[in-house]
Amino acid sequence: MSGSRIFWFLASLAVAAGFIVLWQYVADARLISPAFLPGPNRAWAALVDGMIHRDLTDQLISTVMRMIYGWLLASTLGIAVGALIGISPTARAYLLPTLEMIRPLPASAIIPVSIAFFGLSERMVLAVIAFGALWPMLLATVHGFAAVEPRLYEVARALGLSRWDVIRKIALPSAMPDILAGMRIGLTIALILAVVGEMLTSTEGLGQWVLFAGRSFRASDLFAGVILLGAVGYVSATLLGAAERYLLRWRISH
């Protein structure tokens, strides 16, 4: 790790520590009622107690698995369909306007439709997660494939490469930065929608934990759940960032 990276890492830790100190001060001074804002010490105690003596660990696992399943489903569909559209100018001309029209539709708007099809069930939550996380990956894949240098396609045709070989050897490596950027955004959306779905369906997960804690005025439990959600988002983004650096190491080397 270079000196500048160490400096910025330590600076980020200092900012986080300062935020925790400020949070503790506000809680101790009772500037906000303890019923709504516990101190970080109480939130941490509730987090440890929930992980050891209650079912907070199971709730965490449920949310993470739901997020991953929905994200993987969206990734598979988004990359496959995006590759087929991106590699074909004709498909882009016919389908992109429709996709751009559907893309701004918020995932929350299709929740009633999903409930009508699947009921308040696990499949409904996964459908909403997949729909919301699909669009960043789909459109990023289309853009990545469409941005491939046209002369590379001409060379591929001259060499007699099949469409699959063109995708695997030329288009996919070129589009990989865009695809990975879309996957990172999709993962964040998947976590958000997993929590929303758990709140709506009362399905086991951190969303249900946070909702019930808020309704019961258990502020410490509520903040424990929020802390875990932040940790899930940070760890998942860090792991995906490491995978992105590994997969794109050829760009650094060149």
CATH number, domain containing residue 61: 1.10.3720.10
Whether 19 and 77 map to the same domain: the answer is: no
Please state the pTM of the whole predicted model: 0.86
Are 125 and 183 in the same domain? yes
**Same-domain pairing of 25 and 45:** no
Residues whose CB falls within 8 Å of the CB of residue 120, separated by 6 or more in sequence, listed in order: 200, 201, 202
pLDDT band at residue 3 under the 50/70/90 scheme: low
Query: What pLDDT was estimated at residue 6?
Result: 82
Q: How far apart are CA 91 and CA 85, in angstroms?
A: 5
Quick one: 172 and 100 in the same domain? yes
Please, which pLDDT band fits residue 2 given cuts at 50, 70 and 90? Answer: low
Residue whose entry in the numeric block shows the structure tokens 């903040």: 223
**Banded pLDDT at 252 (limits 50, 70, 90):** low
Q: Tell me what the mean pLDDT of segment 135-150 comes to.
A: 85
**The pLDDT of residue 251:** 65
Same domain, 111 and 227: yes
Say which residue, 251 or 161, is predicted with more confidence: 161
Q: What does the pLDDT read at residue 145?
A: 84
pLDDT digits (tens, 9 = 90+) for 181-205: 899 999 999 999 999 989 888 888 8
Backbone phi, psi, residue 104, to 5° = -70, -10
User: Do residue 6 and residue 47 come from a single domain?
Assistant: no
Report the pLDDT value the prediction gives residue 1, as an integer from 0 to 100: 54
- Band of the pLDDT at 119, cuts 50, 70, 90? confident
Q: Which of 109-113, 188-192, 244-248 has the highest mean pLDDT?
A: 188-192
Average pLDDT, stretch 204-231? 91
Report DSSP letters for 89-109, one per residue: HHHHHHHHHHHHHHTTS-GGG
The reply to whether 180 and 247 lie within a common domain is yes
User: What proportion of the chain, given as a percentage, has pLDDT over 90?
Assistant: 30
Average pLDDT score over the chain: 86
Q: What residues make up the domain containing 19?
A: 1-31
